[in-house]
Structure 1
Amino acid sequence: MTTAFRAVLAFCLLAGFYVLVGVIVAAAVALDVLLIIDFRVTLVKFAVVTTLAAGALIRALIMVSRRQEGEQPGVAVTREHEPVLWQTVEDLARRVRTAPPDEIRLVPEVNAAVAEETRFLGLKAVRRRMYVGLPLMQTLTVDEMRAVLGHELGHYSGAHTRLGAPVYRGRVSLLATVQGLDRHPFVQRLFTWYAKLYLRVSQAVSRRQELEADAFAVAIGGRQAMAEALRKIHYTAAAWDLYTGGYLSMAGAGGFRPAAVFGGFQSLLNDPSRQAELAELAARPEETSPYDSHPSLAERLAALERLPEPELVPDPRPALTLLRDADVAAGAVEESLWTPEALTVLRPVSWDELVSKGLYEVRNAEALRDLAVAGARVVGASRPYVDAAFEAIARGRQGELEERLRELGWEPGEGLLARVLGAALEGLLISHGQARWTLSWSGPARLLYDDGEEVALMEYAAAVAADSRAVGGLRAWLGDQGVRHDYVPSEAEQVAVPAS
């Protein structure tokens, strides 16, 4: 089945979707009119169900039609800002015989993409945009970047973006319709079946278009450059997911954000342990589905091998050389990551400081505060000092202490007191300058003493929580660390301790 035939079939199915909606609405109207003319009790149930389903369908379509395009990601760069990048894109556009984009945006994604605003079901183009991921440029060479850009421009040349806009809107409409029919299971099953059929056909078109665009990429950059670019995209996407989930997610902790988002990502990419881990992750076989929008990496690499190799002059320079000043560009894209409020409220700090102070706020500060407050409430102290919690344990009142912790918002569960106590003890060491959370690009942050030894208190905390006789040793050890018996965490001073 050719791509053109599949595209026509997708459009026919999209048209059929609206016809199906029209049939149900018409049936509802016909039943309602019939009831008015000739009322029959046996028709009431069918009329009510059909009318409600028709109403749900119309409501879903109205909601979809009112959706506005969201704010564009990243930052737009003009020809004056980035003359080399623009010249490269325009030269490549001429080579694939298409018009260049009207706008190029640098985005914080491991991706390059093109989009086209269209009218009249894709027959008229209004505005073209190209998105170039800065994290991708950190890993590719100029050769590889040219191949990737050629691939994206190939989508323009093959009219893929014009076909893609109405096809995408069809997907949105179908999925929104299915979700809006949750109270009408029979009609929902009908549209679910139709949506699956439409997605299988339209996504097959998308996969074929990706292979066609790869052919443009090879003509521009060569087989080797495009194949290596695909492998690096696969690898870098895994690295970016790891980075955003394990590191960038700490932004906001303690009122801080990283001052160098892409600098941190480069540090993770350069870490030998992470390189081995990511290489293993990227080498795992991909799971494929008929609903995938892209062919698998293996399928794309195999297809590249069947294409002729053009004669090219290699350019192994880093892709970032296409930018006038990579640091300035990175700063602008980083700023686009944050909301105006975050830019105002969160102070930019180094990754070392973000990890050190941010992890304390996330992991230790709340535990230290709540343990002091809970202890004071159990023993009837007027101030929330940490030793009050130790006193509660010494008196064998662990159950009451856990109950107060739950009142303060801690999730109930086995070992609750031990978990809070362990995190609080870590917090005491940090607040008294005895330990510090330390950044590691090879793995999770580690809590270390000044001499580099790792702090490991969780087992000890569990032992203290289970045995009131261990409190004396705990107090002596904390005294050796410079912790006063009447120490009140600054975070706990604002929490009221009701009189017993």
Structure 2
Amino acid sequence: MTTAFRAVLACALLAGFYLLAGLVVAAAVFFDVLLVVDFHLNGLRAAIAFTLAAGVLVRVLVVVGRREDGGQPGVAVTREEEPALWQTVDDLARRVGTAPPDEIRLVPEVNAAVSEDTRFLGLRSTRRRMFIGLPLLRTLTIDETRAVLGHELGHYSGAHTRLGAPVYRGRVALLATVAALDRHPVIRRLFALYARLYLRLSQAVSRRQELEADRLAVAVGGRQAMAGALHKIHGTATAWDLFTADYLSMTGAGGCRPAMVFSGFQAMVSDPVRQADIARLAERPAETSPYDSHPSLAERLAAIESLPEPEHVPDPRPAETLLRDATAAAQAVERSMWRPEVLNLRPVSWDELVAQGTYSTRNAEALHDLAEAGRRVVGADRPYLDAAFEAIARGRQAELEERLRELGWQSSERLLAAVLGQALEAVLIQHGQARWTLSWSGPARLLFEDGEEVTLAEYAAQVAAGPPAVAGLRQWLGDQGVRHDYVPDPQRVRHAPV
């Protein structure tokens, strides 16, 4: 598909959207004028409906039109800073028959991409950028990286990026319009149908472009390198999602952030148990949709296998060797990940972050709320933890659970036992008797100083079940150094993960 034809298609689709919006505005004006000339109740209803819908459309289009692109992600690297990486990109650009990018940026993503700033609906290019995910450089070989970068440069040589901005703007405008018209079901349905048409057409073109770029990737890197890169990218993306959900999400807990993000990611993917989990997740068949921007992995691999194998000198060295100082590059990219307020947080090791983060998300609120619920039940002047034990000793568990629900806890058959168990864990942690311990194989484990795992769920259920167990609980806590008048530190519940 030629650049000119894509320009015509994009313009037609965008023009159709604005024409549709113009028709709604015109209908609003028509019914408003008709209402002034000849008042009817039905005309009033139509005028109100179209005028409100037109107001929504105009507001959305103005907002989308004024929206400015934010700062570019990651860290820009110059030719002087990373000569080997730039030389590789320059060489690949010559081989695929295109100009190299004006800028290369290392980004904290499991991805590589290119963009192109253009004018006059893609007819004139002003600036090209290439984005290279640092996790990829820590995962792929040089062979595989050359294939991936050749794929991205293939988007330039095929002029795939020329209309990226207007197509994206159209997608944003359509989706924002559909979302904003939730109170106008009839008109919303009309725009939703047009949005589906626009997305199906534009994404179908995108999928064809990906296959075209794959052909160039094989031409410069070989079938084996490109297929291996796709497999690794798929698995690494799965691993990054796990890392983000299980570890990186704790950033901000206790006022801390990880000092070294990528070293933690490398440690997780090197763990044998995690490797098996990641492989199992990556093997799951992916669902496909006509709205996908990329063909499925299986489709891409099949297409690659059908291509001729070029003459190629293998280079199995790690792709990180393309960087002059991989550690410095990682530190720079990590700094680019965080907003200024996060950069101001205390940098800590992963062990410390997991200890703080798990306490923050699991224990801090339980301890504070159990003490506060006990205070409300027995009428204490301060939120002593023992007030909750006293409420249980008096057989007032139902009232204690009601106060916990008032504090935001969800109802369940084991509500009191669950909160009590988590609160007792918190007491042990605050008194230095136990600590959440990092595990790259799975969830953190709460361990006593001697390495024995803390298991309090069953004991907490026994205490929550009736008054007789309270005396033993008080004795046990006393043995752990917990005073009878212990009041949880409210400062420990204020730092939530960001």
TM-score range, shorter chain: over 0.9
Task: Provide the residue aligned with 2:255 in structure 1.
Answer: 255
Helix, strand or coil for the counterpart of 2:114?
A: strand
How far apart are 1:397 and its partner, in Å? 1.8
How far apart are 1:263 and its partner, in Å? 0.4
Task: Provide the residue aligned with 2:358 in structure 1.
Answer: 359
The 3 A distance-change label for structure 1 pair 310 and 490 is same
Residue 274 (1) aligns with residue 274 (2): yes
Helix, strand or coil for the counterpart of 1:161?
A: coil
- 1:129 maps to a residue whose letter is R
Helix, strand or coil for the counterpart of 2:128?
A: strand
Question: Structure 2: how far apart are the matches of 1:131 and 1:106?
Answer: 6
Question: Structure 2: how far apart are the matches of 1:44 and 1:167?
Answer: 38
The 3 A distance-change label for structure 1 pair 186 and 255 is same
- Aligned-residue RMSD, C-alpha: 2.3
Task: Provide the residue aligned with 1:373 in structure 2.
Answer: 372
- 2:168 maps to a residue whose letter is Y
The 3 A distance-change label for structure 1 pair 101 and 2 is closer
Number of aligned residue pairs: 494
Aligned residues of 2:3 and 2:159 also touching (Cα < 8 A): no
For residues 214-269 of structure 1, the C-alpha deviation after alignment (integer angstroms, 9 at most, x for no partner) is 01111111110000000111000000000001100011111111111000000011
Aligned residues of 1:110 and 1:236 also touching (Cα < 8 A): yes
How far apart are 1:336 and its partner, in Å? 1.2
For residues 274-309 of structure 1, the C-alpha deviation after alignment (integer angstroms, 9 at most, x for no partner) is 111111111111100000000000000000011111
Question: Structure 2: how far apart are the matches of 1:45 and 1:26?
Answer: 16
Residue 470 (1) aligns with residue 463 (2): no
How far apart are 1:492 and its partner, in Å? 8.1
Question: Structure 2: how far apart are the matches of 1:396 and 1:309?
Answer: 78
For residues 74-89 of structure 1, the aligned pairs below 5 Å read 74-89=74-89
Question: Structure 1: how far apart are the matches of 2:492 and 2:350?
Answer: 29
Question: Structure 2: how far apart are the matches of 1:44 and 1:368?
Answer: 59
How far apart are 1:198 and its partner, in Å? 1.2
Aligned residues of 1:384 and 1:493 also touching (Cα < 8 A): no
Question: Structure 2: how far apart are the matches of 1:271 and 1:407?
Answer: 42
Structure 1: which 5+ residue stretches go unaligned? 496-500
How far apart are 1:104 and its partner, in Å? 1.1
For residues 88-487 of structure 1, the aligned pairs below 5 Å read 88-344=88-344, 346-487=345-486
How far apart are 1:453 and its partner, in Å? 2.2
The 3 A distance-change label for structure 1 pair 373 and 313 is same
Aligned residues of 1:155 and 1:209 also touching (Cα < 8 A): yes
The 3 A distance-change label for structure 1 pair 330 and 13 is same
Aligned residues of 2:365 and 2:493 also touching (Cα < 8 A): no
Structure 2: which 5+ residue stretches go unaligned? none
Q: Higher mean Cα deviation, 249-258 or 57-66? A: 57-66
The 3 A distance-change label for structure 1 pair 95 and 408 is same
Q: Higher mean Cα deviation, 388-397 or 367-376? A: 367-376
The 3 A distance-change label for structure 1 pair 493 and 299 is closer
Question: Structure 2: how far apart are the matches of 1:245 and 1:38?
Answer: 61
Aligned residues of 1:384 and 1:492 also touching (Cα < 8 A): no
Aligned residues of 1:6 and 1:202 also touching (Cα < 8 A): no
* TM-score, scaled relative to structure 1: 0.93
Aligned residues of 1:108 and 1:337 also touching (Cα < 8 A): yes
How far apart are 1:395 and its partner, in Å? 1.4
The 3 A distance-change label for structure 1 pair 490 and 15 is closer
Question: Structure 2: how far apart are the matches of 1:288 and 1:405?
Answer: 44
Aligned residues of 2:368 and 2:493 also touching (Cα < 8 A): no
- 1:470 maps to a residue whose letter is A
How far apart are 1:39 and its partner, in Å? 5.4
* TM-score, scaled relative to structure 2: 0.93
Aligned residues of 1:373 and 1:492 also touching (Cα < 8 A): no
The 3 A distance-change label for structure 1 pair 71 and 470 is same
Question: Structure 2: how far apart are the matches of 1:118 and 1:437?
Answer: 52
How far apart are 1:410 and its partner, in Å? 3.5
Question: Structure 1: how far apart are the matches of 2:386 and 2:479?
Answer: 15
Aligned residues of 1:3 and 1:208 also touching (Cα < 8 A): no
Question: Structure 1: how far apart are the matches of 2:99 and 2:3?
Answer: 22
How far apart are 1:412 and its partner, in Å? 4.1
Q: Higher mean Cα deviation, 417-426 or 481-490? A: 481-490
The 3 A distance-change label for structure 1 pair 184 and 358 is closer
- 1:254 maps to a residue whose letter is G
Aligned residues of 1:138 and 1:318 also touching (Cα < 8 A): yes
- 1:481 maps to a residue whose letter is Q
For residues 117-144 of structure 1, the C-alpha deviation after alignment (integer angstroms, 9 at most, x for no partner) is 1111111112111111111111111111
For residues 71-129 of structure 1, the C-alpha deviation after alignment (integer angstroms, 9 at most, x for no partner) is 22111111122121112111111111111111111111100001111111111112111
- 1:127 maps to a residue whose letter is R
Aligned residues of 2:397 and 2:464 also touching (Cα < 8 A): yes
Aligned residues of 2:462 and 2:469 also touching (Cα < 8 A): yes
How far apart are 1:481 and its partner, in Å? 2.8
The 3 A distance-change label for structure 1 pair 147 and 30 is same
Aligned residues of 1:118 and 1:162 also touching (Cα < 8 A): yes
| % identical equivalent positions | 74
The 3 A distance-change label for structure 1 pair 60 and 379 is closer
Question: Structure 2: how far apart are the matches of 1:154 and 1:418?
Answer: 59
Task: Provide the residue aligned with 1:29 in structure 2.
Answer: 29
The 3 A distance-change label for structure 1 pair 341 and 14 is same
